Amino acid sequence: MIPGFTEHTTGPLAYSIGGAGPPLLMLHGFPQTRAMWARIAPELAQTHTVICPDLPGYGTSGKPERLDAYSFRAMARAMLGLMDHLGHGGFDLVGHDRGARVAHRLALDAPGRVRRVALLDIVPTHRLLSDLRWPVARAYYHWFFLAQPAPFPERMIAADPDAYYQSCLLGWGGAQLSDFDADQLARYRAAWRDPDTIRGMCNDYRATLEIDMDHDSADADARIACPALILFGSTGAMAGHYDVPATWAPRCTDMRAQAIPGGHFFPDTAPDATLAALRTMLAKGAGA
């Protein structure tokens, strides 16, 4: 995979690209970077042109000051700008965690661009926040901690970024640090030790409460038009608190769902199973 940069209204976007064939955009989640696809993207690049960006505020992409740059709609537009820059009209789309929420918004806002979409280990944002139950709030407390006014969470996290973000990696499904590839973990640590990245990731969550919920409330009945694959960790927090496929069924026109062994971070901890599921989607279509 070859690294690259392009400019967008949110600032520079860092990405890696490799392979040849139909374009495939892959979006990482919190608290990671595009390095999370290191054991998956090169395999998919055997049949596709794979593009893995760092989301705005993450990794080596720009860290905008404006809060509205972190809404899922703004980040989706940034991803469309990247694909325009690379000359791709329609494309397949994969997202995990925050990247899956960007992918969901992108599929709703630009249905003519997304051929197939895979959403990894999320329930719809509107469902999670509008029907919040205390066990989910306890498991996903970070949504509300990170969204507190600056600089409160930033200062607390900066005291020991590794301790805080590793507690996130080890939650939501009971992983161990040894489950994560050492090189990928080193790249995550390098990113989250940057104070600007800490601020960017906090702003991502602030934007969800201040901006995204209004967008999602307006689109509460909207359905994804393209085939959708819903993957979820079999022992993750989402599967423990929700019937994940049932939360997506009313929001999709063509859906297939599959559990993957492990918790929330199964693309890291079970890359082979994740790869197999994505290959099936890309080969046959999610509704096959």
User: pLDDT tens digits for 231-250?
Assistant: 999 999 999 999 999 999 99
pLDDT for residue 285 is more than 60: no
Angle, to 10 degrees, between the axis of helix 98-109 and the axis of helix 72-85?
A: 70
Q: Is 97 a catalytic residue?
A: yes
How far apart CA 237 and CA 216 sit, in angstroms, is 22
Give me the residues paired with residue 252 across strands. 224
Q: Answer yes or no: is pLDDT of 165 > 70.
A: yes
Q: What share of the chain is helix, strand, coil (3-state, %, to 5)?
A: 50, 20, 35
pTM of the predicted model as reported, rounded to 2 decimal places? 0.96
Sheet holding 11-18, edge to edge: 2-8, 11-18, 49-53, 23-27, 91-96, 114-120, 228-233, 255-260
- pLDDT-above-70 percentage for the chain: 96
Ordered structural domains, the chain, with CATH: 2-284 (3.40.50.1820)
Residue 85 annotated as catalytic: no
- Which pLDDT does position 172 carry in this prediction? 82
Which of 8-12, 89-93, 193-197 bottoms out in mean pLDDT, i.e. has the lowest? 8-12
Average pLDDT on 121-129 reads 96
Candidates 54, 92, 264, 268; catalytic one: 264
Predicted confidence (pLDDT) per residue in 36-77, tens digit: 999 999 999 999 999 999 999 999 999 999 999 999 999 999
pLDDT confidence of residue 286: 43
Q: Which of 48, 54, 96, 97 is flagged as catalytic?
A: 97
Residue 4 has pLDDT above 80, yes or no: no
Query: Strand, helix or coil at 233?
Result: strand
Q: Which residues contact 232 (CB under 8 A, 6 or more apart)?
A: 120, 121, 238, 239, 244, 245, 257, 258, 259, 260
What is the overall mean pLDDT for the chain?
94
Tokens 């892959």 -> residue: 26
